[in-house]
Amino acid sequence: MKDIFDKWDLSCEQIGVVTNSNRVRYFVKDDIVADVPCHDLVLGGGAPVYKREYKEPKYFSEWKKFNIDSIIQPDNLIDVAKFLTSHENISSKRWIYEQYDSMVGTANMSTNNPTDAGVVNIKGTNKALAMTVDCNARMVNADPENGCAMAVAEAARNIVCSGGVPSAITNCLNFGNPYNPEVYWQFVGSIKGMKKACEKFNTPVTGGNVSFYNQSVTNGSEVPVFPTPTIGMLGVIEDKKHITSLAFQGKSDLIYMIGECVNDISSSEYLASYHKINNSSTPYFDLEKEHIVQSTVTKLIRENVIESAHDISDGGAFITLLESSMPNNLGFDITTCSEVREDAFLFGEAPSRIIVSVRETIEDAFLDILNKIDVLFCC
d(CA 158, CA 288): 17
The terminus-to-terminus CA distance of the chain in angstroms comes to 54
Maximum Cα interatomic distance, the chain, rounded to a whole number of Å = 77
d(CA 367, CA 305): 9
pLDDT at 44 over 70: no
**Considering only CA atoms, which of 262, 265, 267 is closest in space to residue 279?**
267
pLDDT digits (tens, 9 = 90+) for 102-137: 777 788 888 889 999 999 999 999 999 999 999 999
pLDDT at 96 over 90: no
For 250-283, b/e burial (b = at least 16 CB within 10 A) is eeebbbbbbbbbbbbbbbbbbbbbbbebeebbbb
pLDDT at 85 over 70: yes
Residue type, 279: N
Residue-wise DSSP of 246-306? SS---TT-EEEEES------TT-HIIIIIS------PPP--HHHHHHHHHHHHHHHHTT--
pLDDT digits (tens, 9 = 90+) for 300-311: 999 999 999 999
118-121 and 128-134 as β-strands: parallel, antiparallel, unpaired?
antiparallel
Q: How many CB atoms lie within 10 A of CB 76?
A: 8
Q: Which CATH class is domain 58-378?
A: alpha beta
Percentage of the residues of the chain whose pLDDT score is greater than 70: 99
Q: How many CB atoms lie within 10 A of CB 248?
A: 25
Contact 359, 367 (CB under 8 A): no
107: left (phi over 0), alpha (psi -120 to 50) or beta: alpha
Contact 194, 203 (CB under 8 A): no
State the pLDDT at residue 148: 98
Contact 356, 317 (CB under 8 A): no
State the pLDDT at residue 97: 78
Give Cβ neighbours of residue 204 (< 8 Å, ≥ 6 apart): 168, 169, 198
d(CA 111, CA 118): 9
pLDDT digits (tens, 9 = 90+) for 251-287: 999 999 999 999 999 999 999 999 999 999 999 999 9
pLDDT digits (tens, 9 = 90+) for 153-204: 999 999 999 999 999 999 999 999 999 999 999 999 999 999 999 999 999 9
State the pLDDT at residue 241: 97
pLDDT digits (tens, 9 = 90+) for 345-374: 999 999 999 999 999 999 999 999 999 998
Q: How many CB atoms lie within 10 A of CB 57?
A: 17
Domain ranges of the chain: 2-41, 58-378
